[in-house]
A and B are shown apart, each in its own frame.
Chain A
Amino acid sequence: QKEVEQNSGPLSVPEGAIASLNCTYSDRGSQSFFWYRQYSGKSPELIMSIYSNGDKEDGRFTAQLNKASQYVSLLIRDSQPSDSATYLCAVPSSSARQLTFGSGTQLTVLP
């Protein structure tokens, strides 16, 4: 079992809809979770971090964490074509040094 798993997609949603991206992780002791956005040919850019169970909202983005079920999700409300990118879920290693990344979910928002 991979340490961090994501649905690879592709995921397509119409403009204005809610995009839901999911991630599961295997290390029950994980404390921090990060969502990076990566446009084609560009480097990953941090968009959300979450450390506690529940929801964390930042503008149109909401991260949801459920440690008991070992999943973290990212919701994008009022999706825009500019949100079209690959979204990477990342979890620190047990040493909290390097990040372990999922394979990413490719999102396309259709105008």
Chain B
Amino acid sequence: GAGVSQSPSNKVTEKGKDVELRCDPISGHTALYWYRQSLGQGLEFLIYFQGNSAPDKSGLPSDRFSAERTGGSVSTLTIQRTQQEDSAVYLCASSLLAGVAKNIQYFGAGTRLSVL
């Protein structure tokens, strides 16, 4: 597609349920990032994928969070046993390269997660 595509755009779930968020990066982009933006806050890095290399999971807040990227393209962020503090907008970004200072990241529209 022309841009980074995320689905669903909105997700309402009950506390304790598992959720899956999907990201389809820009075609040809090898790097994919997940960020979280809580209400009124800046973006918080969660995880990063680069090609077939092991992902950088250093930003994941707990072991309830995991992500995978299949075939070097689509990525799924999974949150298990959701908690109310997980409510936020989850943003996915992709870039042509990574590890390069001038690397530009392009963002999807995000998934707004609400945990009741």
Q: How many residue pairs bridge A and B at CB < 8 Å?
A: 63
B103, closest chain A residue (CB): A96
How many residues belonging to B are interface residues under a CB distance threshold of 8 Å? Answer: 25
Q: Given A43-B110, A102-B42, answer yes or no on A49-B102 (Cβ-Cβ < 8 Å).
A: yes
> What distance in Å separates the Cβ of A40 from its nearest Cβ neighbour in chain B?
11
User: Are B102 and A99 interface neighbours, CB within 8 A?
Assistant: no
Q: Which of A44, A95, A98 has the most CB of B within 10 A?
A: A98
Question: Which parts of A49-86 form the interface with B (CB within 8 Å)?
Answer: 49, 51
> What distance in Å separates the Cβ of B50 from its nearest Cβ neighbour in chain A?
7
User: Are B105 and A51 interface neighbours, CB within 8 A?
Assistant: no
Question: Which parts of B59-116 form the interface with A (CB within 8 Å)?
Answer: 59, 91, 98-110
> What distance in Å separates the Cβ of A16 from its nearest Cβ neighbour in chain B?
28
Contacts of A44 in B (CB 8 A): 43, 91, 107
User: Are B98 and A96 interface neighbours, CB within 8 A?
Assistant: yes
User: Are B106 and A96 interface neighbours, CB within 8 A?
Assistant: no
A101 close to B (CB within 8 Å): yes
User: Are B104 and A34 interface neighbours, CB within 8 A?
Assistant: yes
User: Are A99 and B45 interface neighbours, CB within 8 A?
Assistant: yes
Contacts of A101 in B (CB 8 A): 35, 42-43
Contacts of A32 in B (CB 8 A): 101-103
User: Residues on A close to B: CB < 8 A?
Assistant: 4, 31-32, 34, 36, 42-46, 49, 51, 88, 90, 92-93, 95-104
